[in-house]
Amino acid sequence: MTRIEQMEQTKQTLGLQDDALAQSFPEFAAVKDRFMYGEAWHEGVLDETTRFLVSIACLATVDRDSLPHMVHAALVRNVSPVAIQEVFHQIAPYIGLPKAERGLAILNSVYKDEGIKLPLKAQATVNEDNRLARGIEVQKSIFGPAIDTMRASAPSDRMFVQDTLSAYCFGDTYTRNGLDLKTRELLTFVSIISLGGCDKQATAHAAGNISVGNTIDVLVSAVKQCISYIGFPRSLNALAAIDAAAPNDK
């Protein structure tokens, strides 16, 4: 099958149709679609659901205009509404609450169009009394005893950052139902590489992904899936972060 045939089949499967871009700038639209859906969409080892979740996380970070089409396509392919919702919970601490809220506004609109009743079933598993302890527990399960060292060495005027990092990023977020730990850590990596300029954090979370069982192939596949959304410079930096986290696996 040629990449053009692959592109046409993929767009049909995902329920994607030509838009105004194809009418006004048909050559650009053809190059875009052949790259995105004839090549990149089929690269790597991600299963279809993970491919959608990775794409939604990436687009929520860099391109909200394309987000409704991707959410709709995910629903067409039977990705759980809860799983899609959880993408925004997971990436909010990394992309910032305003971006996550704008993404949820889009999600709200698509879900209403699809007849999906909101709010969905609650997914939280922590409370005000245990969110910090549970967060530290999850952090250590990913990054090991270095978390204790980091917290112990933090100056007093920065403990708020350490406590909220543990309680909010991990306690309020990683402990939720709806997605497993491997998927959550992969989406964190995706949001960070999509932001760009976060090389240290990208390397740390590449290592975190490996720690929870995501293979190098999975990480590289996520980068391949994002490449058409974030461009080559950020994608190459993401691959460098993976190499830095696992230099012996290149």
Residue 146 lies in a domain: yes
- How much is the pLDDT for 20? 81
Is the pLDDT assigned to residue 181 strictly greater than 90? yes
In a domain, 153, yes or no: yes
Task: Report the 3 state secondary structure along the chain.
Answer: CCHHHHHHHHHHHHCCCCCHHHHHCHHHHHHHHHHHCCCHHHCCCCCHHHHHHHHHHHHHHHCHHHHHHHHHHHHHCCCCHHHHHHHHHHHHHHHCHHHHHHHHHHHHHHHHHCCCCCCCCCCCCCCCCCHHHHHHHHHHHHHCCHHHHHHHCCCHHHHHHHHHHHHHHHHHHHCCCCCCHHHHHHHHHHHHHHHCCCHHHHHHHHHHHHHHCCCHHHHHHHHHHHHHHHHHHHHHHHHHHHHHHCHHHC
Flag whether 129 is in a domain: yes
Q: Is residue 111 in some structural domain?
A: no
- Number of domains the chain is built from: 1
The secondary structure element, H or E, covering residue 61 is helix 48-62
Residue 150 placed within a domain: yes
User: Is residue 161 assigned to a domain?
Assistant: yes
Reported pTM: 0.96
In the predicted structure, residue 249 carries a pLDDT above the cut 70: no
Structure confidence by residue, pLDDT tens digits, 192-243 = 999 999 999 999 999 999 999 999 999 999 999 999 999 999 999 999 999 9
In a domain, 69, yes or no: no
Q: What is the pLDDT of residues 75-128, one digit of tens each?
A: 999 999 999 999 999 999 999 999 999 999 999 999 999 999 999 999 999 999
pLDDT tens across 127-168, in order? Answer: 999 999 999 999 999 999 999 999 999 999 999 999 999 999
Domain coverage including residue 137: 124-175
